[in-house]
């Protein structure tokens, strides 16, 4: 059985910006919709697909703000899923991002936060013309051995939107076995422009480089 269990015990230095605004409480959301999958696909295509991709692994569950233990995705970053550190709250993450991502609004982050209290099942591949295997520790089937190791593995959060769904915020982490510089987790702001999602800004939370 092909198992992927990544535990990164890394140290990282994060600067918490002075910006501060209290977040209201949000309501939990339902399953992922097609728009969320398209947002994640835009980030993976722009940041992680090699020139000649073979296949990549997609976690079967979304990452969350949960720590000790993190969501059961097979990925652990110092006791969390990478969306925050153990000494940060979601409010701290918002303050940090708001000081760096100029297109981020409270509405968008609140939507992400309300969807990220618990993990959601990922039951569809991303709309990309690349072979993908959805897998995780809770999977009932194994990855075919003949495929070999994937180019990389993707662990992503739910997607936060504004009401009009013209702005989106998502956390995407990737583990690359051949190029450690491409192993990192980041928050990405995207905008809907001319029929597609375009990356506006990024904030890297951690990296292996």
Average pLDDT over residues 63-90: 92
What's the pLDDT at 204?
A: 97
Contacts of 40 (CB under 8 A, 6+ apart): 126, 154, 156, 159, 170, 172
pLDDT at 30: 82
Q: Does 28 score more than 60 pLDDT?
A: no
pLDDT tens digits, residue range 2-21? 333 343 333 333 222 333 44
Q: Where are the domains of the chain?
A: 32-207
CA dihedral over 42, 134, 124, 64, signed as positive or negative: negative
Query: According to the model, what pLDDT value does residue 142 have?
Result: 87
pLDDT value, residue 114: 95
Mean pLDDT of the chain: 87
What is the rounded average pLDDT of the residues 87-99? 96
What span, in angstroms and rounded, lies between the C-alpha atoms of 146 and 148? 5
* pLDDT value at residue 141: 86
Residue pLDDT, tens place only, 106-165? 999 999 999 999 999 999 999 999 999 999 998 988 888 899 999 999 999 999 999 999
């Amino acid at each position: 059985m092909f198992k992927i269990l990544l535990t990164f015990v890394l140290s990282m230095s994060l600067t918490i910006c002075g910006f501060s605004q209290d977040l209201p409480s949000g309501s939990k959301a339902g399953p992922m919709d097609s728009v969320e999958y398209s947002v994640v696909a835009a980030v993976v295509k722009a940041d992680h697909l090699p020139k000649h991709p073979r296949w990549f692994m997609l976690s079967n569950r979304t990452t969350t703000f949960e720590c000790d233990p993190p969501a059961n995705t097979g990925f652990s970053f110092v006791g969390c899923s990478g969306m925050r550190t153990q000494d940060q709250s979601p409010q701290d993450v918002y303050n940090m991002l708001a000081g760096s991502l100029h297109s981020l609004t409270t509405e968008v982050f609140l939507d992400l936060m309300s969807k990220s209290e618990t993990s959601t099942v990922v039951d569809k591949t991303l709309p990309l013309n690349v072979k993908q295997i959805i897998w995780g520790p809770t999977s009932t089937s194994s990855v075919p051995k003949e495929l070999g190791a994937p180019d990389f593995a993707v662990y992503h959060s739910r997607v936060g939107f504004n009401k009009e769904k013209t702005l989106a915020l998502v956390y995407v982490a990737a583990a690359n076995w051949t190029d450690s510089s491409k192993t990192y987790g980041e928050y990405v702001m995207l905008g809907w422009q001319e029929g597609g999602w375009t990356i506006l800004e990024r904030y890297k939370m951690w990296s292996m480089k």
